[in-house]
């Protein structure tokens, strides 16, 4: 077992910032549940820091398994862990992962059926919840367009409940999305606050399908509306301005998923 | 126009804490959108603080309307506003509202058809999102059970997008919920991670209907499960632990709402 160096601590702290994650091409996940989920998805950590005194029983079991599996374990004192950690009370477990930065072109192998497109989703909690629902409802790929929040930010990773480890997540420009949709003959359905129609489930029974959801303030942007085959709105009571973006996206994904399952 | 006193500033700051809100029986909402929504719901502020230099055009229009309507307007400097405000950059508008603490017994007038029961929802963002979806999907009453987060906390008010002003929100003990459900012959459907069945929409076509959603970690508690007529689960992909509580609740409310509308 090794002990954490000052340089490592500094590197991990830097991963709490957008800049640091970009420079290092890495991100952090903390806690037992997230690490279990990552391993279950076979998204293995590059480094695993643990602080013996802070571990729960479940955390200790996990660390023992990781040691047996030959993972690179690095010990940290409770104080060192607190300095590296972003959460208030650390569970004594912090893992560093490589980011898998893919592009739309190279990452598509034809198996792709259901794609969630998040346009300008800037709230980390909402993006994380959308990723979690995407994984639950069989949307195996997520495209991020506009000015999204960084999907490897700690808050997004946490809110995704580890879904981030099981999804293809691809930031993309509008131009490449348009080309991709054309090339794959994908149907693009955009959730749009100003649309009149509800989701037509018959139109979703086609591969591949791209479901676009937008920011709360502005909905899906004009670039996405322009390339959409259908614009739809979730019906709700009059006098209500809009739904939470993550709630709206989850409802639409669930409807498409249920319909797929028949 | 009056100017804000030091005592008032102190009182408003105290409303950022659970204790202060309880002691004063009041809560705070900031920003143009929330205040517009409150007024639209006829939930009028008791006091309205504004800081002229910070107002947007839309904010200034709103203040002018409020002045014409005879609201109690109190001026604050940008610095005073920053001290009272909970958000990073204040829009120069902060309103204080009386809480409407109701109990299950007195607040039911028979018009109540769709009730959302939030059991142990402790995350403010999730509770706010659930309130927002409740309002959008015709659930006019929300019962809070277990150890809920305070629904008049600033984060909840914000995440509710003002839905808090248009709903009956009632904290209640399990005992009174059980008695209430029996007295009203309400059907109670509990979302339960361990249930086998999906939502049976035929069973929801009855008045009143109570839909219970639980915390993410543990789902609906045993007290609620014990009094439920039906336990249901949202179907999703295998290997996914659970959905976000607000996403799950929103999906179920939407399904019931859509079915009601036929």
User: CATH no. for residue B224?
Assistant: 3.40.1280.10
Residue A103 lies in a domain: no
Q: Are B141 and B48 in the same domain?
A: no
C-alpha of A232 from chain center? 24
Domain boundary among A71, A98, A125: A98
Q: Are A178 and A132 in the same domain?
A: yes
Residue A82 lies in a domain: yes
> pTM higher than 0.80 for the full model?
yes
Residue B52 lies in a domain: yes
What is residue A108's predicted lDDT score, i.e. its pLDDT?
64
Share of chain A above pLDDT 90, in %: 76
With beta carbons under 8 A apart, name residues in chain B contacting A247.
Answer: 129, 132-133, 246-247, 250
Asked if A40 lies within 8 A of B137 by C-beta distance, the reply is no
Separation of alpha carbons A60 and A251, rounded Å: 38
Q: ipTM of this model?
A: 0.93
pLDDT band, residue A2 (cuts 50/70/90): confident
Asked if A163 lies within 8 A of B240 by C-beta distance, the reply is yes
Residue A178 lies in a domain: yes
Q: Which residue has the tokens 């599996």?
A: A69
Residue (of B45, B34, B49) closest to B80 by Cα position: B49
What is residue B127's predicted lDDT score, i.e. its pLDDT?
97
| Cα separation of the two ends of chain A | 52
Q: Which of A137, A235, A243 sits opposite B236 (nearest CB)?
A: A137
The token duo for A103 is 């592009």
Three-state DSSP at B35 gives helix
C-alpha of B71 from chain center? 24
Residue B195 lies in a domain: yes
Asked if B243 lies within 8 A of A133 by C-beta distance, the reply is yes
What is residue B219's predicted lDDT score, i.e. its pLDDT?
84
Q: B99: buried, middle or exposed (CB in 10 Å: 19+, 13-18, 0-12)?
A: middle
SS3 per-residue string spanning A41-84: CCCCCCEEEECHHHCCHHHHHHHHHHHHCCCCEEECCHHHHHHH
Asked if A254 lies within 8 A of B234 by C-beta distance, the reply is yes
Q: Does A193 contact chain B (CB < 8 Å)?
A: no
Q: Does A37 contact chain B (CB < 8 Å)?
A: yes
Q: Are B118 and B93 in the same domain?
A: no
With beta carbons under 8 A apart, name residues in chain A contacting B135.
Answer: 237, 240
| Domain containing residue A253 | 114-261
CATH of the domain at B67: 3.30.1330.30
Q: Are A48 and A144 in the same domain?
A: no
Q: Note which residues in 80-99 of chain B have CB less than 8 A from chain A.
A: none
Residue A202 lies in a domain: yes
Q: Which of B125, B133, B237 sits opposite A136 (nearest CB)?
A: B237
In degrees and rounded to multiples of 5, residue A21 shows phi and psi of: -65, -35
Instruction: Give pLDDT tens digits for B69-122.
Output: 888 899 999 999 999 999 888 999 999 999 987 788 765 666 678 999 999 999
Separation of alpha carbons B125 and B246, rounded Å: 9
Q: Does A209 contact chain B (CB < 8 Å)?
A: no
Query: What is the chain B residue with the closest CA to A251?
Result: B251
Which residues, 6 or more positions from A252, have their beta carbon under 8 angstroms from its beta carbon?
A189, A191, A199, A211, A213, A232, A234
Residue B106 lies in a domain: no
Q: How confident is the model over A191-201, as a mean pLDDT?
A: 85
Instruction: Give pLDDT tens digits for B16-71.
Output: 999 999 999 999 999 999 999 999 999 999 999 999 999 999 999 999 999 998 88
The token duo for B149 is 């987060």
What is residue A7's predicted lDDT score, i.e. its pLDDT?
94
Q: How confident is the model over B195-215, as a mean pLDDT?
A: 88
Q: Does A139 contact chain B (CB < 8 Å)?
A: no
Q: Which of B74-83, B111-120, B137-146, B195-204 has the lowest mean pLDDT?
A: B195-204
With beta carbons under 8 A apart, name residues in chain B contacting A236.
Answer: 136-137, 257
pLDDT band, residue A211 (cuts 50/70/90): very high
Q: Are A62 and A15 in the same domain?
A: yes
Q: How confident is the model over A134-163, as a mean pLDDT?
A: 94
The token duo for B259 is 């079915």
With beta carbons under 8 A apart, name residues in chain B contacting A125.
Answer: 125
Name the H helices within chain B.
6-14, 18-24, 32-40, 57-68, 78-84, 124-136, 154-159, 174-183, 222-226, 245-261
Name the H helices within B87-171.
124-136, 154-159
Q: Are B123 and B191 in the same domain?
A: yes
Separation of alpha carbons A155 and A150, rounded Å: 10
Residue A165 predicted with pLDDT over 70: yes
What is residue B218's predicted lDDT score, i.e. its pLDDT?
79
CA diameter of chain A: 62
The token duo for B126 is 């999730």
A108 or A151, which is more confident = A151
What is residue A147's predicted lDDT score, i.e. its pLDDT?
86
Which residues, 6 or more positions from A192, have their beta carbon under 8 angstroms from its beta carbon?
A214, A219, A220, A225, A228, A231, A232, A233
What is residue B100's predicted lDDT score, i.e. its pLDDT?
85
With beta carbons under 8 A apart, name residues in chain A contacting B254.
Answer: 234, 251
Beta strand ranges found along A51-181 (DSSP E): 73-75, 93-98, 114-119, 141-145, 168-171
Judge contact between A125 and A154, C-beta under 8 A: no
Q: Are B65 and B158 in the same domain?
A: no
Judge contact between B99 and B21, C-beta under 8 A: yes
With beta carbons under 8 A apart, name residues in chain A contacting B166.
Answer: 239
The number of helix segments (H) and strand segments (E) in chain A equals 10, 11
Asked if A138 lies within 8 A of B239 by C-beta distance, the reply is no
Separation of alpha carbons B149 and B254, rounded Å: 24
Q: Which of A245-249, B117-121, B194-198 has the lowest mean pLDDT?
A: B194-198
Q: Are B9 and B73 in the same domain?
A: yes
CB atoms within 10 A of CB B79: 8
Instruction: Give pLDDT tens digits for B208-239.
Output: 999 999 987 778 999 999 999 999 999 999 88
Across all residues in chain B, what is the average pLDDT? Answer: 91
Separation of alpha carbons A219 and A249, rounded Å: 11
Q: Are B21 and B84 in the same domain?
A: yes
Residue B153 lies in a domain: yes
pLDDT band, residue B244 (cuts 50/70/90): very high
Query: What is the chain A residue with the closest CA to B139?
Result: A237
Judge contact between A227 and A188, C-beta under 8 A: yes
Question: In the beta sheet, which residues pair with residue A93?
Answer: A50
Q: Are A254 and A201 in the same domain?
A: yes
pLDDT band, residue A181 (cuts 50/70/90): very high
Separation of alpha carbons B260 and B262, rounded Å: 5
Judge contact between A231 and A190, C-beta under 8 A: yes
Residue A111 predicted with pLDDT over 80: no
Separation of alpha carbons B202 and A67, rounded Å: 52
| Positive or negative torsion for Cα B226, B231, B237, B243 | negative
Q: Are A253 and A125 in the same domain?
A: yes
Three-state DSSP at B185 gives coil
Residue A107 predicted with pLDDT over 60: no
Residue B181 predicted with pLDDT over 80: yes
The count of domains in chain A is: 2
pLDDT band, residue A105 (cuts 50/70/90): confident
B201 or A145, which is more confident = A145
Q: Are B134 and B51 in the same domain?
A: no
Please tell me what DSSP assigns to residue A87.
S
What is residue A109's predicted lDDT score, i.e. its pLDDT?
64
Instruction: Give pLDDT tens digits for A15-58.
Output: 999 999 999 999 999 999 999 999 999 999 999 999 999 999 99
Q: Does A129 contact chain B (CB < 8 Å)?
A: yes
């Amino acid at each position: 077992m090794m002990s954490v160096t000052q340089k490592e601590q500094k590197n991990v702290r830097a991963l709490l910032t957008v800049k640091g994650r970009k420079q290092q091409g890495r991100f952090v996940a903390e806690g037992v549940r997230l690490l279990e989920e990552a391993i279950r998805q076979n998204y293995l950590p590059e480094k695993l820091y643990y602080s013996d005194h802070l571990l729960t029983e479940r955390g200790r079991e996990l660390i023992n398994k990781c040691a047996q599996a030959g993972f690179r374990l690095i010990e940290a004192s409770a104080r060192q862990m607190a300095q590296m950690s972003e959460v208030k009370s650390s569970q004594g477990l912090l893992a560093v992962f490589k980011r898998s930065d893919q592009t739309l072109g190279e990452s598509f192998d034809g198996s792709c059926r259901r794609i969630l497109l998040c346009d300008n989703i800037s709230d980390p909690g909402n993006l994380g919840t959308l990723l979690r629902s995407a994984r639950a409802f069989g949307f195996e790929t997520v495209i991020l367009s506009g000015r999204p929040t960084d999907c490897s930010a700690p808050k997004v990773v946490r809110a995704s409940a580890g879904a981030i480890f099981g999804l293809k997540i691809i930031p993309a420009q509008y131009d490449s999305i348009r080309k991709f949709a054309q090339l794959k003959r994908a149907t693009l359905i955009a959730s749009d606050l100003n649309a009149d129609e509800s989701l037509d489930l018959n139109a979703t029974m086609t591969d591949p399908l791209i479901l676009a959801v937008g920011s709360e303030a502005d909905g899906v942007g004009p670039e996405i509306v322009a390339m959409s085959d259908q614009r739809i709105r979730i019906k709700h009571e009059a006098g209500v301005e809009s739904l939470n973006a993550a709630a709206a996206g989850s409802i639409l994904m669930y409807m498409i998923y249920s319909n797929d399952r028949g």
